Structure 1
Amino acid sequence: MKKKSLTLCLLALGVTGLTMFSGGNEASAHGYVNQPASRVVNAKANGFGWGPGEISSHPEIISTPQGVEAPTADLDSGKLNGKLASAGLDVYSPLNEQTSSRWVKNTISTGENNFNWHHTAVHKTNRYRYYMTKQGWNQNEPLTLKNMDLIKVIGQPIGEDFPKGEGFTPAVDEMQQVNIPTDRSGYHVVYAVWDINDTINSFFQAIDVNVK
């Protein structure tokens, strides 16, 4: 009887372990921009999927748009330059491809535009920040912060985090107004960043837009 109980216990632990490892990506995956649709959210329209002729070797791009996450310091140090869209994660690396025609674009206008973060889990937050490619940027070179301007910060100034556990709590759907500069037109990339307070990480979203 004891042997049977031990076996059942070990089996249960094994299942738990498998769940922890197989669900690890989901467990650490907590937010994405769905308005305007980000590059990873717009996966199907951008050619990632399971049908004939579609890319099926990167399931995270299709199933886990909320998983583009890396240490905040990697962005601020420049480590993510050239890999901004993927946050340096191999499973999202196809998102780093950058040409003038590769990505489906959202039509927006200059002035105030609504950007919505959908949080699959809510974290205490230091800030949100938005960058945008400069007018005249090279649309066929990898994305870097050097090619972008900071156009909006919501929360604490960059580098001035709240004490741990004292950040603000966003809504599950956090609608934010972002002013698109009047000197922008045509194809641009808006790069949205969610800086977490209760971990060392941020979430990153590349959003392809056509400014009318």
Structure 2
Amino acid sequence: MNRKRRLALAIGAGIAPLLVVTMPASPASAHGYVSTPPSRQAQCAAGTVECGPIKWEPQSVEGPKGLASCSGGNSQFADLDDDSKGWQVTPVGSSQTFNWKLTARHSTSTWQYFVGGRKVAEFDDGGAQPPETVSHTVNFGGITGKQKVLAVWNIADTANAFYACIDVNIGG
């Protein structure tokens, strides 16, 4: 019996590396969005703006890293890219704290914030797993007026990121 057990262990040890290499990679289990000031998907979830299926899953705006769209390239969330939908605009000062609500946490490389296609802030988490809520204070520098902020949560161990757009009036 001892010999059979050793043989089974040896076979298992030989097969295990092959299974790890041949098994498909699982998608990111992380989900999250900017809750305050209210992002477009937060407004959809609250019923502030009529937006289709994103109402039920505001945390699911996931797409490949490097996109510049509010929908994360997801056609089912295309309403988020429509600037004419009557999004609530939040008045903010020259800096603003953005609060992310994470419904599933995942290792994070960086958090980025863009205004008009220009990166205005980046926070490096170095692969750490974030808590359920994350806050960043972003200084807008000399940018003023009505702006759309693109907030991006870059996942450390996948090729994906989560996207949120927040409509603000800086200095308003």
TM-score w.r.t. the length of structure 2 is: 0.76
Paired residue for 1:206?
165
Once the 2 structures are TM-superposed, how far is the Cα of residue 28 of structure 1 from its aligned partner? Answer: 5.0
**Residue pair 1:29, 1:68 contacting (<8 A) in 2 also:** no
1:47, 1:31 → 2: CA distance? 20
- 1:121 maps to what in 2? 104
Who is 1:64 aligned against?
Answer: 57
**Partner residue, 1:93:** 78
Please, what is the CA RMSD of the aligned residues?
2.0
The match for 1:194 is: 153
- Residue 185 of structure 1 and its aligned partner are, at CA, apart by 2.2
Where structure 1 has 5 or more consecutive residues not aligned to the other structure, the ranges are: 1-26, 49-57, 134-147, 157-161
Matched, 1:149 2:118: yes
SS of structure 2 residue aligned to 1:102:
coil
Q: Match of 1:39?
A: 40
CA distance in 1 between partners of 2:29 and 2:40 (Å): 19
Which of 139, 156, 164 aligns to 1:179? It is 139
Structure 2: stretches of 5+ with no match in the other structure: 1-27
SS at match of 1:154: strand
Once the two structures are superposed, residues 1-57 of structure 1 have per-residue CA deviations (whole angstroms, 9 ceiling, x without a partner) of xxxxxxxxxxxxxxxxxxxxxxxxxx8561100011101111111234xxxxxxxxx
Q: 1:28 to 1:169 in 2, by over 3 A?
A: closer
Aligned-residue offset at 1:171: 1.3
The aligned counterpart of 1:108 is 92
Q: Secondary structure at the match of 1:42?
A: helix
CA distance in 2, matches of 1:153, 1:122: 19
**Secondary structure, aligned partner of 1:175:** strand
- Which structure has the highest strand share of the two? 2
**Sequence identity, in percent?**
34
Distance 1:193 1:36 in 2: 15
Q: Deviations over 1:99-129 (max 9, x none)?
A: 4x7321111111x321111110111110101
Query: Kindly tell me: are residues 31 and 117 of structure 1, through their superposed partners in 2, closer, same or farther at Cα, counting changes over 3 Å?
Result: same
- Alpha carbons 1:28, 1:67 under 8 Å: kept: no
**Based on CA coordinates, which of the two structures has the bigger radius of gyration?**
2
